[in-house]
Structure formats: structure tokens, C-alpha cells
Amino acid sequence: MASNLVSKLFRPPLTQLVCLRSGCLFRGKGAAAAATGTRSSSSGSPPEKISRYPIPYKKDLPYDIVELMEEVESKGGFLPNVFKVLSHRPAEFRAFFAYYNELMNKDTGRLTKADRELIVVATSIHNRCLYCVVSHSALHRIYSKNPTLCDQVIVNYENADLAPRERAMLDFAMAVCRCDTITEQHFKSLEEAGFDREDAWDIAAVAAFFAMSNRLAHLTDMRPNLEFFNLGRIPRDKSKDKAGDGN
Amino acid sequence: MASNLVSKLFRPPLTQLVCLRSGCLFRGKGAAAAATGTRSSSSGSPPEKISRYPIPYKKDLPYDIVELMEEVESKGGFLPNVFKVLSHRPAEFRAFFAYYNELMNKDTGRLTKADRELIVVATSIHNRCLYCVVSHSALHRIYSKNPTLCDQVIVNYENADLAPRERAMLDFAMAVCRCDTITEQHFKSLEEAGFDREDAWDIAAVAAFFAMSNRLAHLTDMRPNLEFFNLGRIPRDKSKDKAGDGN
Amino acid sequence: MASNLVSKLFRPPLTQLVCLRSGCLFRGKGAAAAATGTRSSSSGSPPEKISRYPIPYKKDLPYDIVELMEEVESKGGFLPNVFKVLSHRPAEFRAFFAYYNELMNKDTGRLTKADRELIVVATSIHNRCLYCVVSHSALHRIYSKNPTLCDQVIVNYENADLAPRERAMLDFAMAVCRCDTITEQHFKSLEEAGFDREDAWDIAAVAAFFAMSNRLAHLTDMRPNLEFFNLGRIPRDKSKDKAGDGN
Amino acid sequence: MASNLVSKLFRPPLTQLVCLRSGCLFRGKGAAAAATGTRSSSSGSPPEKISRYPIPYKKDLPYDIVELMEEVESKGGFLPNVFKVLSHRPAEFRAFFAYYNELMNKDTGRLTKADRELIVVATSIHNRCLYCVVSHSALHRIYSKNPTLCDQVIVNYENADLAPRERAMLDFAMAVCRCDTITEQHFKSLEEAGFDREDAWDIAAVAAFFAMSNRLAHLTDMRPNLEFFNLGRIPRDKSKDKAGDGN
Amino acid sequence: MASNLVSKLFRPPLTQLVCLRSGCLFRGKGAAAAATGTRSSSSGSPPEKISRYPIPYKKDLPYDIVELMEEVESKGGFLPNVFKVLSHRPAEFRAFFAYYNELMNKDTGRLTKADRELIVVATSIHNRCLYCVVSHSALHRIYSKNPTLCDQVIVNYENADLAPRERAMLDFAMAVCRCDTITEQHFKSLEEAGFDREDAWDIAAVAAFFAMSNRLAHLTDMRPNLEFFNLGRIPRDKSKDKAGDGN
Amino acid sequence: MASNLVSKLFRPPLTQLVCLRSGCLFRGKGAAAAATGTRSSSSGSPPEKISRYPIPYKKDLPYDIVELMEEVESKGGFLPNVFKVLSHRPAEFRAFFAYYNELMNKDTGRLTKADRELIVVATSIHNRCLYCVVSHSALHRIYSKNPTLCDQVIVNYENADLAPRERAMLDFAMAVCRCDTITEQHFKSLEEAGFDREDAWDIAAVAAFFAMSNRLAHLTDMRPNLEFFNLGRIPRDKSKDKAGDGN
């Protein structure tokens, strides 16, 4: 009975996971492959030093994790290092990505995917987390098609070129990030910018989850893939054209 | 195929969950029931204000969550409010407790359950999280059978009556809690106290998870059950005896 | 003449001192005695390590100090360690308790004794003072008959279940505790909560005195009596009944 | 009996009080009188605004306090405003000066009076206390005959022209001032500079007492007498000579 | 005579200024021109909003300033906005760039130009200065030919991929940036990394000058040219080749 | 041509430099000479230790710098140590004083010279800069003829006896000093106190320049001339009369 109970509790968040592994995050495979090579390896051999902890060989990983990794890599063109680094602890890997998936890969309420990435960037720079800042500012550039906003937010979100709703969103996210005592005043400020209490939960949950993620990245000295640094900086059409003719 | 993939990824962490719901956390049902009443309700009606967000009626919750709640309550004597508060978002509820379960309900490496609770208390007081401090200091009192150590740690872990290994453990947990940049020096200090790198991960993962939990508790203004305040303060045998025989 | 002058200056604050030594602070002697034993000793021998500095033998102390200690112990059931620790410097002992007595043992203006203890707890936790937090939260539980409010304030007075007047009182006490520059705005906020300028002085004087006390406790590594941890947590009537039948 | 007990407890610290009121703190009456006038008044009328709280008329003050004030003024040439400001609360006035007297007006152990003043200045500037910085830097200039050291300490004691023992003394005083958790390492550092544990108590007690005093000065917005600003800046012999011959 | 004196004092630092205006800072004119257009204007009309203060028309500027601007623009491909923004105050403009030129445009001692830019980036991110971080990380990418190091330093120089000498250099620069009291220990740490006292002066002078610059940028809300965001991110040879063949 | 260009760019800010070297800053030569001697030397020999870096012999300095020094000394009665210390780097010396001169030696807009000195003192004490606090509080005493205001500001400008416009000025200067993100709200607060945007620039430029100066003083461990400590403390007329009879 307990087994039945638990399998229901952890029923697969299927549709979102599909979204997680969809190729929309990354440029086409060809372009990415061109940029790859320095740190990751395409074979089954263990990758370069991207963590303070050992990275398991694929052959030693549980099959469900390998399968997920391969799908992410095939769709996105490269495998973000966080998958490799956290696979050191398979059970925690599963819990981490199930939670991540639940919070990040959706456009619900008034938060777009770009908004969620902006929250990650603003809070992760506060926490000085190299991996999260570099990788999620790349995702923000792609989702928002704005190649410079995150660079501004990384330096100082207070004078970045933000819309008022974005500023209110980040003000609240930063309050959560700093672990301020949240009061009714916080919710009022959000309401004035058009966010209701469910949006507040969404903002806070992303900020809270990355409070955890940033600390795991510090623990492991997780290094971002080189691909992330330039992702989304150059207008896609051009680069695609250039990279594309040979494919 | 994808469904097959995902079900494998999120295969139930069965043995630990049994541990989570085991009655070992709490005093016997009778003693707890005597202390209950002010904030929780034994029926299916919605509980008192313990969160800034609405608490769903049991009848509106997914069956797997209700089943888990009932098992926890029947074993522990009362249902910790965190279950009620987070059930506002069932999918996040599942991810939260799967992760929690993975980190807290085990005695692995060199970390006992009491050690894990001590980490939670030391980091949660830094974050001024009412729910986590009150509930996890209760759990620490029970696991450690030390009724005053957590009260000391809550005020100032630096001059609490800690063993050197506990101090080293908390020093590292606090570095993670503050989101310090973790360096090799941190691992050396842990090694001198007998902890290896896997223990370091365990310590950091607990501190990181509660960096998230504390922020969710601030978001929801989560209030601890009254039962937690006195749990484990009075020696169990005696109180049981007194409460048990004639009364 | 000078002697005459000085004796007038330091005329005994008699009525309050009686109050200081009244038994109202502590539970009945019997119950306390049962809880005692681990750290203090009932005989004239020097007590256990409760201070970084030596604790004088009673026989070596000035008679007036011994007499005070004995009266406090006989009324309260045990002698709070602060008396023992500070007796290392008899002249400072006298000045400390004369001042303490002047500020704490009275219900004047709009401040009850419970209010004064609440100020001590809120400011002492800011200063991470183990002795003062543990002992004065016990006194607050007794005076206020509220067994959990101080546990909340210790974690975070900003979201504790405080009345607006208590919150205004603690906001001001914390400003004094942090040594903020006090402005007219502070007094206006107090007025809105019903406190006049004499109340403001009372609040500030308590906060200022414990700014000193907390630092003396850190100097001496003063440890709280074990009795304080549970004092006032369990409803008095019951415990009295239980403890009382033999008396 | 209680009265007998209390009178013994608060027996007058006679010899030191004589020291407190001795003229050694201040320049000769004549020189000081020349500098006076703007803020204090020589008659019994209430003085100018030197406090946020009312200053009592002398005729309304207890006789012992008036007598002390007159002796201090006659010996020092002017009455420091702290006497006027705190006389608003006669009982606290008595406790404050008894304690002050116990800590400050003596050369015991390895701490000179100048050392004690230096501690007051270094900690009071940390607390941004106008009254204590201005008045006690004046006292330091007089005791130490060093007219510029306190100006250096006020800006930054870390690069002031201090002897190693003075630096160690201030390092410890600042740890107490900041309410750091005091550890054995602090005492070792003091020992290396020649201070034993009784000296440590003396240093800490002064720093702790002024933690209180600074906060009372902030409460009352206590303003320093104008005389203090220049006291001890000009070599005494010369100025006396100059001022003296014509008088 | 005074005029003679002053002209000698401010004799033109000629050779360095030539260096300042040399084209080595920027990509070729053609490539830059392609990226330009959104914020600056090639004509003499006033530019877009890049400052909180008005930007003078070229025709209203002193001739020497116009001449310098035109030379910088012709060599670098675009005119960095700092020239436009500070020209609001011509006299301060001259002093600022004379000083800047003295500190930045040289390879002396053990500091390369890339080192100097790294110092600017590390200190300017501490000061959250958008203009300086974005523009000087571009310059660092060009000088160092390392396209990602500054992105790392912007997030957290403590775990960036720095050589030990770079880390020592930045540790010292940050001490100056934070306005720490500089001690002999700082110089010893630099010596261990191979820097002598003249290098220390160079490092500190750059950090100090940008302590000023960052604050001027905050005053004026100075916005970086769009060109800076991508400068040096894409390997020059390749991009030139690609862009070049068709033109 | 370049030489022509540069000579125009750095055309001598003649009139102001005359002001810099005017004797108005300092007391008459005679009085100052009397106070001198301990640290500086009147001959061409190198002075006492006033810097961590070597002080060049006059004979080794460029003639324009010597000429300026001599003029400053002859007018002011002594040569402020900043001239000696910075002459270690002649080119930076020239840039520093040209900039300094541009910002400090004028009464423009709504800022008097005394206002500018007040800004220097308030920001330099925040930065704990011994040289700047001691020397510029002396200059403020002279310009303002207020012998005690700076001593108040040094301790705590928040409760100093400042006019509302001075307070608004220092609030803004401190925001710049702390490197806060400057917003429109800052300018509104200044406007309410009568300052326009050009005044804001003046205030900020002084605060920013001393952000640099303070850090250079920390680098060099620059020590103030003894003369500065008492300058302006004693009413000038009297001292002039005394010193003056021979003139």
C-alpha cells in the first residue's frame, strides 16, 4: 500500500518535463556543436573539471538519468554542466530537476519564462553564483530576445532599463533572496504593479529555489559551459545562416 | 517512451519516505493530542490561520497528498503545519517533500539525524525563520535527547556547548547559509574534524535546502504548531509516566 | 562632610530591592530544587564552571552580598548565576544590581514588568547573549503567562504575535540597541502607540542597561542556570499541584 | 533588617568619589570660567537646551545631587552636562554615577586613567556618541598630555600612533563594543600585550558601561559643554601663563 | 610669472595622450560603425539620453575637447559616452582625462593594460557601476584576448579563473576599493605575488581613480554605448574575415 | 598638431590656482612657523616619516612642482603634507592638484568654500581617512569661523547642529560617498533644500574626488601636519594680536 501511495505522490510531471527538454532553450545543434569542445566531451568519457566533486561516467549512472541527459543534449546542442555535476547524487538529481521543472518551465500567471530567468539572474548575482548567472542570463537573452538587459541587471538592477512591473517583480524577488521578513506591504507593492498573490508565490518560489541552487553551485564550484557566455548575444538569424549553409 | 523515462527518473524513494512518516519524530499520539487543539482541527474542516495563503480543504486535495498527511498525523500525533501550508500548491508540495525526504530522514555518512536537525536550526535562526527554528529545534531535542542545546544554538552557536565536530559542521553550514564562496580551506577544516567530502555535501545540501525552506516560510508567514514549542523539553519517560498512569 | 554627602547620594533604593528579592520571579522552592543540582551547589562550596572568571566562595564575599544572595535564593528557589558571576567584583556587583533594580523591578508608566522583560529578550538576542536571552525569556513567560511569545521574539520579533504597542516598544528598543541616532520621529512613532517621553526613557534605559549586561555576559561567558530553560513553559497550576502535594 | 541589609550593600564607594570630584580632570576654575557662558548658567536657573528631556531646576533636585553637582563644578570649573541631563531621573542618576565612579576614576591593574578614557573614545566614536567622544577625548588629552592622539583615534584607531599595548587594549575594547562573542583567543592576544584577565575585565567593563552611556546620550540628545572642545589642546603652562598674568 | 609657473605644472602628458587616442582600444571603424546607431549620432546633433545631465552640442564645446573627441572616435570607431557626458563640465573633463590618461594608458612596472582593466572591472562591479563595468570589461576582453574572464570576475572574482598574481592584485585593489585601512600586511601579500611597492601604488591609484569615476557615473546615470556589450566577445580574426570578404 | 591639441586641452586653470595658493587658507606665517618643527623641515632635506612611500628631495623634483610648493608654503605658513607625499609621482601630482583645484577652490553656485570642506569632512570620516579629516576640518573651521561644527560632524553628522540645507547637502554627499545608486528622489530632496542640479554635480564631484583622495591617503599612510590639529580652534583675532605685535 505504501508503495502505491508513494507512486501517486510522485506521479511524473510529464508535460513540463517535455518542455524542459525541448530545444527552445538553445540554438540549433550545429551552431552549438561548433562552439563546443573545450570543456565537454561528446563521447562517454568523463568530462573536464567542471566541479569540485567527481563527475560520474555515463555507464555508471542510472539509466533514467542518462536518458534524460541525452534528450537534453540532443535538443539543446550541449549538456549544461549542472546535469553532470548533480548526477554525483542521483536521488538528489531527481528531486532537484523535478522541483526545477515545476517552477521554471512554464508561462503561468503573469510570469513569462523570460521573467523567471530574470529573477534567477538578479538573485544569483546577489549570491555571486557564477554558474547560475552565466547560464540563466543566456536563457534570458534567448527568451526575451533582449541581448543586453541581463548584463545591466548583473551590474545593478536598480538602474537597469526595466519596465515598472519588472522592477516590482525584482524588488520582491530580492526581498525573498535576502530572506527579509515578508509583510503585507510587499504584496501591496506587487499589486500596484499588477501581480496577484499567486504571482507572488511564483516569484518567491523561483527566488527561493535558486537560493538553494546558488549554494549547491558554490559547494561544487560548478563551472558554466563555455557555450553559455555568448548564447543569445548575436542575432540568431545571421549566425544560423552562417552556420547553416554547411548542414 | 517519454512517460517510461520520466517514471524511472522519479521512481519513488520508498524506504526513506517510510522513515519520514514513521512515528519516531513525535511523542505518542495521546500526549500530543492533549497539547493540540488551538490551531489545528481534527476534522476535515480547514484549519486556523497558519499561513498567509489559503489552506485547501482535505476534500479538495489530491488523494496521494491526503493519504500522506493522514499517515504523518496518525504516526506523529499531529500534522505539522508545513504540510497544510504547502498543499496550496500540490505539485510543489510533492517536489518539496521528495527533496526533503532525500536529505533529512537518514543516518548516512557521519551525520546523524540529530546533526541534520542542528544544521537546520543554526541556519534557520540566521534566516530568522520562525517555523523552521521552532519545529526543528523540537526534532533536535527528540533525536538528541538534549533538551537545551538548541536553545543555546538559537542564541549563539559560537558559544554553545558543542563538540568540536559539531562546531566544524555548523561553521561549514553557516558558510553555505551565508552563501560564502566555498574554498578548499572549508574542506580542510571539515577534514580536521573528521568529515569527508561526502559529509560536506550532506551538510551543504541540508543548509541549501533550508535556505529555500526558510524563504518559503517567510513568503507564507508559516506558523509553527503549538505542539512544537514544548516537544522534547520534558524527559519523556517521566512525563509519560505521570500523564499515563492515572490521568 | 564628604562622607555625609555620599551616603545621601547613594541612599538605598529600598522598596524596589525588596521587590527584586520577592519570590514572584520564580516557581516555588520545591519545584526548583528538583530541577537544580547540575550546575549550582546548595552548600557553601564554589559552584561549577558558569563563568570564565572564578566564582568566589561565599565565605570570602562581603556580608551584604551574601545576605542578598541568600534572600534571592530562598525566595526564588535557586540563585541566578549572574549573582555568582558578578560577585567576582563586589563593588561593581553593588552598582550593577542597584541600577538593575532601579530599571527592572517596577510597573511604572505604561511599562509592565513583562514589557521590560520583552525588551530585554528582544535586544539580548540581537546581541546574541545566551545568559540574558534564556533567563529573561523565562521571566517573561512567568510575568506574561504567555509561554511562547518570547520564543517567537527570539527568532524574529518582526513577525511575532505582538500587539501594536508591543511592536512600537520593541522597534524603539531595537533602535536604542543598535545605537541608532534617536530622532523626533522615534518619539512620534511611540506616541502613536500610546507611549509618552517618560515611557520612551524607560524603554531606552532598559535597552541601554542590557547593552551593558550582554557585553558583561560575553566577557565572562556567563552560563544560564538550567532551571531557566523550562521555567514558565508548563502551566503553573498543574506543576504546582504535582510538585505541591508533598509540601 | 532589610534596611540594614541594603545600606550595607550600597555602602558609599567613598574614596573613589572623592577622586571623581577632584579638580584633576579640569583646568583651573579661572580659565574654564572664561570659556563658559554660552550654554550653561552659573545661577540656579535652568540651563540652555542640552537635552531632549527637561533639565530640573536645582531647587527641585534632591539635596545630595545638588551637593555633588556643586562640588564637581567648583573643582572642575564647569559642570559637565551629563550631570544636568541625567538628573531628570535622580535614582538612575545615583546608580549611573556610582557605577561610573567604580570603573573610571582609578589607576588599577595596568590601566591608567588615560587608558580608560582612550577606551571610552574609541568605543564611543564607533557608537557615534557626540557627548562621550567630545568630553572624554578632552579628558584623555588632559590625563595623557597628548593633544592629538584622540583626534587620530576618533578617525581611525587602526592607524593611530598607538603603542602595541594600546592597540591590543583597543582591539579588545572594540570586540566588546561590537558585542562580539569573546573567546580565549581574545585573552591570549591581551596577554601577549601584557594584560591579564583582571585587566581584561577592566577594559571590558569600561567598554560595556559606555555601550550603555552612549545609548543614553542618544536617547536624550545630550550635547557636550563647549568647554570640552578645546580642553587640553593648548599646552597648559603657556595658556595659564598667558591667561594668568592679567587676572 | 604665475602663468609661467602654471603652464609648467600642467605641461601636456603628450606621449600618453597619443596612446589614449590610439586605435588599439577598439575594433576597426567599419565593424564598429555597423554596430552603432541606436544611441549615438554621427552628426553634430546632440545624442540620445545617455546621461541625467544635458550633453552639449559639439558647436558649444571648446575646440580642444571637440578635437580630442573626434580623434578618439576616428580611431576607435565610436565615441565612448563618458566623453560626451563629462563634457558638460569642460574644465573637469580636462582634469578627469588627464588623470585617467596618466593611470590607464600604459604598460609600466608589472601591470599590463589588461591588468589595469581587470582592476577597473573588479572594483566597479563592487560599486555597481554600469558604465564602467560594461565598457572596461570590453577593453579587458580586447587587451587580454580572453573573452570570458571578466564575466567571471563580474560575478565573483574569488572563484574566477585567475592566476595567483591576478588574485593578489585584485585582493589589494578590493581593499583599496572598500577603503580598508592599508597595512604592511597588504604589501607583504603583494610581494609574495611578485609586486613591489610601485606596483602597489599603480594598483591602488587605478582603484582609487575608479572609486571617483564610478560615483560620477552614478551621479550622471551614465549609460554605456551599445557597442561595448559585445566588443571582444567574438574572435576578431574570424569575424573580420567573415564580415570582410563581402564588403 | 597633436602637441597643439594637447596644450589646448590642458590649458592652465590659472585663476583658480592662484586661489589655491592664496594665503587665505592658513594663519600668518609667523604663527604657523612657531607651531612647526616636529615633522616638517624648513631646509631642503627630506622631511620626517609622513608617508609609507619615500618623499623626494626638493632638488630631485621637477621645477614646476617645487615652485608650486614654495608658493603654497610661503602663503600658508607651512606645506601641507599631501604636497610632499604625492610628489613621489610628479605626473599624478599634477593631475591630482589640477582636479582638486577645479573642484575646491571656488565659491560657485550655492556652495561656499566652507560647504565644500564640510562635504570633505563628512565623507572622509566615513572613509576613516586621518589626513583628510584632520586637514579639511581645519580648513572648515577657518572658512566657516565655526570652531566646533566639524567636530560634531566627525562624530555624527546626523545630530550635528546643521542648517537644513547643510543636512540635505551632506545627505546627498553621503549617498555619493557610499556609492549608492543615485535616483531622481535624491535630486528632489536637494531641490527642497534649494539646490539645483548643477549644485548636485558640485556636491557629488567633491564627494567623488575625495573617495579617491581618501584611498590614496590610506595607500600612503599619509599623516597630517601637526599644525592642522589646532588651526582655527582659537579665535583668530586674539592669536593674531598675540602673534602679531612683531609684524
Q: Tens of pLDDT along F38-64?
A: 334 444 444 458 999 999 999 999 999
Q: Which of C57, C86, C22 is nearest to C217 (CA)?
A: C86
Evaluate if residue B108 carries a pLDDT over 90.
no
Three-state DSSP class for C24?
Answer: helix
In this predicted structure, what is the pLDDT of residue F146? 97
Residues from chain F that touch D229, judged by Cβ atoms under 8 A, are: 147-148, 151, 233
Evaluate if residue B194 carries a pLDDT over 50.
yes
Within F22-111, residue ranges assigned H as helices are 29-35, 63-76, 81-86, 90-104
Rounded Cα–Cα distance for residues A204 and A200 (Å): 6
- 0.90 surpassed by complex ipTM: no
F49 vs F113, higher pLDDT: F113
Looking at chain F, which residue has its C-alpha nearest residue A156? Answer: F181
Query: How far, in whole angstroms, is CA E114 from its chain's centroid?
Result: 11
Using the beta-carbon criterion (under 8 Å), do C68 and D9 form an inter-chain contact? Answer: yes
Chains B and E touch (3+ CB pairs under 8 A): yes
Q: Which of D37, D123, D52, D118 is nearest to D84 (CA)?
A: D52
Q: Are C172 and C150 in contact (CB under 8 A)?
A: no
Q: Which of B221, B179, B201, B222 is nearest to B80 (CA)?
A: B222
Question: F78-87: string of b/e by CB count within 10 Å (b at 16+)?
Answer: bbbbbbbbbb
Average pLDDT over residues C35-44: 39
Residue B196 is placed in which grid cell?
569527508
Residues from chain D that touch B159, judged by Cβ atoms under 8 A, are: 181, 183
Looking at chain C, which residue has its C-alpha nearest residue F158? Answer: C181
Question: At a CB cut-off of 8 Å and minimum separation 6, what does C204 contact?
Answer: C172, C173, C176, C182, D215, D216, D219
HSE toward the beta carbon, residue F71, CA cutoff 13 A = 17
The owner of cell 537597469 is A160
Rounded Cα–Cα distance for residues E177 and F100 (Å): 20
pLDDT digits (tens, 9 = 90+) for E37-67: 333 444 444 445 899 999 999 999 999 999 9
Residues from chain D that touch E181, judged by Cβ atoms under 8 A, are: 156, 158-159
In this predicted structure, what is the pLDDT of residue E2? 35
Residues of chain D whose C-beta is under 8 A from some C-beta in B?
181, 183
Least confident of A2-11, C53-62, D94-103, D108-117: A2-11
Rounded Cα–Cα distance for residues A175 and A171 (Å): 6
Residues from chain B that touch C158, judged by Cβ atoms under 8 A, are: 128
Looking at chain A, which residue has its C-alpha nearest residue E148? Answer: A229
In this predicted structure, what is the pLDDT of residue F25? 37
Average pLDDT over residues D149-153: 98
Looking at chain B, which residue has its C-alpha nearest residue A104? Answer: B92
Residues from chain E that touch F212, judged by Cβ atoms under 8 A, are: 208-209, 211-212
In this predicted structure, what is the pLDDT of residue F19? 37
Looking at chain E, which residue has its C-alpha nearest residue D160? Answer: E181
Distance from CA of F197 to the nearest CA of A (A): 19
Using the beta-carbon criterion (under 8 Å), do F127 and E179 form an inter-chain contact? Answer: yes
In this predicted structure, what is the pLDDT of residue C56? 97
Average pLDDT over residues B172-187: 98
Burial of D200 (0-12, 13-18, 19+ CB in 10 A): buried
Chains C and B touch (3+ CB pairs under 8 A): yes
Looking at chain A, which residue has its C-alpha nearest residue C155? Answer: A181
Select from F154, F159, F230 the Cβ nearest to the Cβ of D221. F159
Q: Which of F154, C169, C197, C174 is nearest to D52 (CA)?
A: C197
In this predicted structure, what is the pLDDT of residue C27? 31
Residues from chain A that touch B91, judged by Cβ atoms under 8 A, are: 13, 102
Dihedral sign computed on CA atoms, order D78, D81, D82, D88: positive
Q: Are A179 and A126 in contact (CB under 8 A)?
A: no
Residues from chain C that touch A183, judged by Cβ atoms under 8 A, are: 158-159
Quote the strand ranges of chain C, DSSP E: none
Chains E and C touch (3+ CB pairs under 8 A): no
F36 vs D122, higher pLDDT: D122
> CB neighbours (10 Å) of residue D15?
11
Residue B144 is placed in which grid cell?
538528541
Evaluate if residue E8 carries a pLDDT over 50.
no
Question: At a CB cut-off of 8 Å and minimum separation 6, what does A244 contact?
Answer: A28, A30, A31
Average pLDDT over residues F99-105: 94
In this predicted structure, what is the pLDDT of residue D106? 78
Query: How far, in whole angstroms, is CA F190 from its chain's centroid?
Result: 24
Average pLDDT over residues F191-203: 98
HSE toward the beta carbon, residue E3, CA cutoff 13 A = 1
β-pair partners for C108: C111
Average pLDDT over residues A146-161: 98
Using the beta-carbon criterion (under 8 Å), do E10 and F10 form an inter-chain contact? Answer: yes
Residues from chain C that touch F158, judged by Cβ atoms under 8 A, are: 181, 183
In this predicted structure, what is the pLDDT of residue F208? 98
% of chain D at pLDDT higher than 90 = 72
Evaluate if residue C179 carries a pLDDT over 60.
yes
Question: At a CB cut-off of 8 Å and minimum separation 6, what does D214 contact?
Answer: C179, D123, D124, D127, D129, D132
Which pLDDT band holds residue E154 (cuts at 50, 70, 90)? very high
HSE toward the beta carbon, residue D201, CA cutoff 13 A = 19
Residues from chain E that touch F105, judged by Cβ atoms under 8 A, are: none
Select from F159, F229, F234 the Cβ nearest to the Cβ of D151. F229
Residues from chain A that touch E157, judged by Cβ atoms under 8 A, are: none
Q: Which of C46, C32, C135 is nearest to C82 (CA)?
A: C135
pLDDT digits (tens, 9 = 90+) for E110-138: 999 999 999 999 999 999 999 999 999 99
Distance from CA of A179 to the nearest CA of C (A): 12
pLDDT digits (tens, 9 = 90+) for D16-29: 333 343 333 333 33
pLDDT digits (tens, 9 = 90+) for B141-176: 999 999 999 999 999 999 999 999 999 999 999 999
In this predicted structure, what is the pLDDT of residue B235? 65
In this predicted structure, what is the pLDDT of residue D80? 98
Rounded Cα–Cα distance for residues F7 and E7 (Å): 9
Rounded Cα–Cα distance for residues B185 and B233 (Å): 37
Say how many CB pairs under 8 Å bridge D and F.
Answer: 53
In this predicted structure, what is the pLDDT of residue A100? 97
Interface test with F, best of D159, D162, D242 (most F CBs within 10 A): D159
Looking at chain A, which residue has its C-alpha nearest residue B96? Answer: A99
Distance from CA of B34 to the nearest CA of C (A): 13
Average pLDDT over residues A75-95: 97
Distance from CA of E168 to the nearest CA of B (A): 16
pLDDT digits (tens, 9 = 90+) for D200-234: 999 999 999 999 999 999 999 999 999 999 999 98
Interface test with D, best of F38, F129, F130, F227 (most D CBs within 10 A): F130
Select from E8, E89, E209 the Cβ nearest to the Cβ of F201. E89
Interface test with C, best of D75, D92, D96 (most C CBs within 10 A): D92
- φ and ψ at A108, to 5 degrees? -120, 165
Q: Which of E188, E149, E143 is nearest to E168 (CA)?
A: E188
Question: At a CB cut-off of 8 Å and minimum separation 6, what does A238 contact?
Answer: none
Q: What radius of gyration do chain F's Cα atoms show?
A: 19
pLDDT digits (tens, 9 = 90+) for F226-240: 999 999 998 655 444
Residues from chain B that touch C230, judged by Cβ atoms under 8 A, are: 147, 233-234
Average pLDDT over residues F212-238: 90
Evaluate if residue C90 carries a pLDDT over 80.
yes
HSE toward the beta carbon, residue E128, CA cutoff 13 A = 19
- Rounded to the nearest integer, the mean pLDDT of chain D is 82
% of chain B at pLDDT higher than 70 = 75
Using the beta-carbon criterion (under 8 Å), do D207 and C215 form an inter-chain contact? Answer: yes
Rounded Cα–Cα distance for residues A40 and A48 (Å): 6
Question: At a CB cut-off of 8 Å and minimum separation 6, what does E136 contact?
Answer: E117, E120, E121, E124
- CA diameter of chain A: 58
Rounded Cα–Cα distance for residues B102 and B108 (Å): 11
Enter the DSSP assignment of E234. S
- φ and ψ at B244, to 5 degrees? -75, -45
pLDDT digits (tens, 9 = 90+) for A102-120: 999 877 899 999 999 999 9
Evaluate if residue F104 carries a pLDDT over 50.
yes
Interface test with A, best of C158, C167, C170, C174 (most A CBs within 10 A): C158
> CB neighbours (10 Å) of residue B110?
17
Evaluate if residue A237 carries a pLDDT over 80.
no
